[in-house]
């Protein structure tokens, strides 16, 4: 199919606007512009403008062109944008979605990984091609109205809303502990569409997720502002869901949940649908607050692959780069690159967690279609300062995650552990420390990494097959040991220096095997402690 449709750029903006405003009939103007005021919209914050705006959008979709929203506040119910349409919000224009559950009809879509029934999104692009949302205006979901019903006792939920929720529950086959979506619509959804671009606008106060791209391809989001309060429930910024060829750039996000999240369905249904999220780039974005800067999962059962994130800053997010999954998800997350990122004041900058809402020390289970895999994840040129835990990486005992690498990464994990009430990964039965923690990983490597923690060890490996450390640097006053091994098959250390006090490395566990030192600054073999329960051997070559 064709690429992103070109946007109309009139030579004289004033002339263009004048033509739009002088249109006298309800029929489509002779130009390709559709001014919503010519269809009866008032923009006075009192009367509902839904019918006028939707009529303009529908007529535009028949012939193609631009629906123009001039300055003013237009209170509206849910809207649908069709083919060949540019929806342009002028500076000072606001689409203010009404707080009224009766105004939002029932639709079927994907909600938190399942195809379910729920409320119509506030602004919906569905089964459409060549659509643009442009301008410097604001799209406001009026989330305050909807948030009051989240986790509210039944006595505080209106009877009519309870009836709607009962309707959804009867139609929907699936429900779990996190399925709160039916209480609230997303603000903006791009569904089963192609060649869609969003630029310039502000999207704020979403009842549920802010911007949801699902079952779509060739989508560009650039120069957009996304804002939700910190306490907005499920207030994700941008969710890319079973979609491909998606580009997010030059965007500011302050979210009430994960800022940029990549998903592909949940459990058996997600695997059956089998639509991966793939060929995704995120660049030049600024994230201020949220549960995670860029997050993969936990709904990743249809696979996530070929993702590049570069030139971004994450500040005051709970986690930085976060991959989360669990047993029964299945699916593969692979070939991810994170480069040129700066993080500050974060609980944990790097998280790959196979135990999302599960106990960490669970026994091994048989590998089947519900066993997830994460592999080939690269972190390069990243600085993480004022963080609590340096990193958390945990595969499953029955399926180790593979191919995790760090190159030129600096981590200052000296922020007090009680700076927030967050654990690193939302895995149960894990006692948080400042160390970079690694468990059930097939191979992980560190090249030219600097790390500082207020106590030792700085790096802790358990039940891991292959660890490579090349050029690790720690401050002179770093507490010993720097590296701790428990049941690690092979460890290779080069380009490192002994500590002034205490061992550089300590090893224990009956499954710890070969430890190799080569090209170090001093004899690290003499600066290693082997526990009595370990049969580890040291290769000094």
In the chain the domains, ranked by start, together with CATH numbers, are: 65-540 (2.160.20.10)
pLDDT of residue 499: 84
The residue to which tokens 């569905």 are assigned:
126
Total-model pTM: 0.92
Active-site residue 257, yes or no?
Answer: yes
Q: Which of 88, 120, 212, 291 is catalytic?
A: 291
pLDDT of residue 6: 36
Tokens of 188: 């903006």
Provide the terminal-to-terminal Cα distance of the chain, rounded to the nearest Å: 58
Tokens of 98: 């009404």
Provide the 8-state DSSP code for 120: P
Distance (Å, whole) CA 443 – CA 446: 10
pLDDT of residue 525: 87
DSSP3 helix / strand / coil % (the chain, rounded to 5): 10, 45, 40
Backbone dihedral region for residue 161 (phi beyond 0: left; psi -120 to 50: alpha; all else: beta): alpha
Beta bridge partners of 88: 68, 134
Q: Which helix (H) or strand (E) holds 457?
A: none
Q: What is the pLDDT along the chain (541 residues), one digit of tens a residue?
A: 433 333 333 344 443 334 334 433 334 334 469 999 999 999 987 789 999 999 999 999 999 999 999 999 999 999 999 999 999 999 999 999 999 999 999 999 998 899 999 999 999 999 999 999 999 999 999 999 999 999 899 999 999 999 999 999 899 888 776 666 667 999 999 999 999 999 999 999 999 999 999 999 999 999 999 999 999 999 999 999 999 999 999 999 999 899 999 999 999 999 999 999 999 999 999 999 999 999 999 999 999 999 999 999 999 999 999 999 999 999 999 999 999 999 999 999 999 999 998 889 888 999 999 999 999 999 999 999 999 999 999 999 999 999 999 999 999 999 999 999 888 888 888 889 999 999 999 999 999 999 999 988 999 999 999 999 999 999 988 999 999 999 999 999 999 998 878 899 999 999 999 999 999 988 898 889 999 888 889 987 6
Q: Which helix (H) or strand (E) holds 445?
A: strand 443-452
Q: Which of 257, 258, 318, 412 is catalytic?
A: 257
pLDDT of residue 298: 95
Contact 237, 210 (CB under 8 A): yes
Tokens of 498: 């002994």
Beta bridge partners of 267: none
Contact 258, 231 (CB under 8 A): no
Distance of CA 468 to the CA centre of its chain: 29
By C-alpha distance, which of 426, 344, 323, 353 is closest to 387?
344
């Amino acid at each position: 199919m064709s690429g992103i449709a070109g946007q109309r750029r009139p030579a004289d903006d004033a002339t263009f606007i004048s033509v739009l405003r002088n249109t006298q009939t309800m029929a489509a103007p002779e130009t390709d512009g559709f001014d919503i005021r010519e269809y009866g919209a008032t923009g006075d914050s009192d009367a509902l403008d839904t019918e006028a705006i939707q009529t303009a959008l529908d007529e535009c979709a028949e012939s193609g062109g631009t629906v123009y929203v001039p300055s003013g506040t237009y209170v509206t119910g849910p809207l649908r944008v069709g083919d060949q349409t540019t929806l342009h919000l002028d500076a000072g224009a606001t689409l203010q979605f009404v707080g009224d559950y009766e105004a939002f009809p029932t639709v079927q879509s994907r909600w938190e990984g399942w195809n379910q029934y729920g409320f119509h999104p506030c602004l919906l692009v569905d089964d459409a091609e060549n659509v643009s949302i442009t301008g410097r205006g604001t799209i406001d979901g009026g989330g305050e109205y909807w948030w009051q019903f989240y986790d509210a006792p039944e006595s505080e939920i209106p009877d009519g809303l309870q009836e709607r929720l009962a309707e959804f529950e009867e139609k929907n086959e699936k429900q779990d502990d996190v399925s709160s979506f039916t209480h609230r619509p997303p603000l903006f959804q791009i569904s089963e569409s192609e060649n869609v671009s969003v630029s310039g606008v502000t999207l704020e106060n979403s009842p549920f997720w802010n911007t949801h791209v699902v079952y779509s391809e060739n989508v560009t989001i650039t120069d957009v502002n996304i804002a939700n309060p910190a306490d907005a429930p499920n207030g994700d910024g941008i969710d890319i869901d079973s979609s491909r060829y998606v580009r997010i750039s030059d965007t500011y996000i302050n979210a009430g949940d994960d800022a940029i999240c990549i998903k592909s369905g949940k459990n058996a249904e997600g695997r059956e649908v089998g639509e991966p999220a793939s060929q995704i780039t995120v660049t030049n974005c600024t994230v201020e607050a949220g549960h995670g800067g860029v997050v993969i999962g936990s709904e990743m059962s249809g696979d996530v692959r070929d993702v590049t994130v570069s030139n971004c800053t994450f500040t005051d997010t709970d986690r930085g780069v976060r991959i989360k999954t669990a047993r029964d998800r299945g699916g593969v997350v692979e070939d991810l690159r994170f480069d040129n990122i700066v993080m500050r004041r974060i609980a944990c900058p790097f998280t790959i967690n196979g135990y999302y809402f599960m106990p960490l020390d669970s026994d091994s289970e048989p590998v089947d279609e519900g066993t997830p895999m994460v592999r080939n994840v690269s972190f390069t040129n990243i600085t993480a300062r004022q963080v609590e835990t340096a990193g958390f990486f945990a595969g499953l005992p029955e399926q180790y995650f593979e191919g995790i690498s760090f190159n030129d990464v600096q981590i200052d994990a000296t922020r007090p552990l009680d700076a927030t009430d967050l654990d690193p990964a939302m895995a149960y039965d894990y006692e948080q420390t400042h160390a970079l923690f690694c468990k059930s990983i097939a191979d992980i490597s560190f090249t030219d990494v600097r790390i500082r923690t207020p106590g030792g060890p700085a790096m802790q490996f358990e039940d891991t097959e292959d660890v490579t450390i090349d050029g690790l640097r720690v401050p002179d006053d770093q507490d010993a040991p720097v590296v701790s091994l428990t049941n690690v098959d092979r460890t290779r250390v080069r380009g490192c220096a002994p500590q002034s006090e205490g061992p550089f490395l300590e090893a224990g566990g009956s499954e710890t095997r070969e430890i190799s030192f080569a090209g170090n600054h001093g004899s690290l073999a003499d600066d290693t402690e082997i526990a009595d329960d370990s049969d580890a051997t040291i290769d000094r070559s």
